[in-house]
Amino acid sequence: MKKLLFVGCLVASAVPLVACSGASTPEDGTFGATAVESAEEASAEEEIVQRESFKTLDGGDVEITLDADGGITVSILEPGMSKQVFADRAAGRADLVDLYLQLTGEADVPDGILEINRHYVAAQARFQARQAEATGGEELELVQGAADDIARPAAGGLSLDQLDLSESEFIDSYCDADRWDYLHCWPGITGTAYITGTVFSLTTDAYAYRGSIYHRIQNKKALGSWKTRHSNTVPAGYLSQLERVSDGLFGNMRGGVWEADGDGYHLSIYGLN
């Protein structure tokens, strides 16, 4: 049973995959930096009831927030040289406790992480129960993004497989279709690229190999407007991961990269329906 729940929008400098009205860049070049969006981000900040942050072994930054409605957002920004830590974490994490232990090497988990993790595990359990009831236990057919249709710009004279995090390494580590209900994998792109859908969870990985990109994750209620839950400015050589998990119900989510015309990056977006 195939579920096509997502509408993808990618605007590259070469050949756009999908034309969409929301992906153009204003004349001043500050996509999304409007007074309206600034107000939305402020209101999203007010909804946070708990925030925990810590440093990774490689000097990266992690922030985990819990919203009043039970939604959880995880942000990780790491140097590209720590790509194996990211890959190991993505492949083996069971919950936020595992995330903390793997990225810090510490033996004890702070009480704040344990508290948010209780919400995280409970949300996963609610989702799994509802998914089993809705699908009758059937295995969902996975959705694979059409990565081969993307124009792949050169990176300063280097091929994409000579980068610190090469195209093939990115695909191997962050485009595992067997683990998710949906997956869009876009290595070696430029410009704006994002996905919008009604899902339980959305995770997006972005690695910048040229320039600097704006990576963010958003959600909104049925009759509301988009609210940015977290955003990272990702310089060349860094990898950003943003994850949003609902309280066990489906939520309207959007994640991807903005303000990247002329920059080069790899992007994957995936999650659970």
pLDDT at residue 259 is higher than 50: yes
Confidence of residue 173 (pLDDT cuts 50, 70, 90): confident
C-alpha distance from residue 33 to each of 26, 118, 182 (Å): 10, 35, 29
Q: What's the pLDDT tens digit per position in 178-205? A: 778 888 899 989 889 998 888 888 999 9
The model carries a pTM of 0.75
The Cα–Cα gap between 187 and 56 comes to: 25
Residue 113 half-sphere exposure, CB side, CA atoms within 13 Å?
Answer: 17
Dist. CA 138–CA 131, nearest whole Å: 9
Which residues lie below 8 Å from residue 191, measured CB to CB, with a gap of 6+? 10, 11, 12, 13, 260, 261
3-state helix, strand, coil split of the chain in percent (to 5) is 30, 40, 35
- Where b means 16+ CB within 10 Å and e means fewer, 162-179 reads ebbbbbebbeebbbbeee
242: pLDDT strictly greater than 90: yes
- The pLDDT confidence band at residue 93, using thresholds 50, 70 and 90, is low
- Can you read off the two tokens belonging to residue 7? 């509408």
Work out the number of other CB atoms within 10 angstroms of the CB of residue 142.
Answer: 17
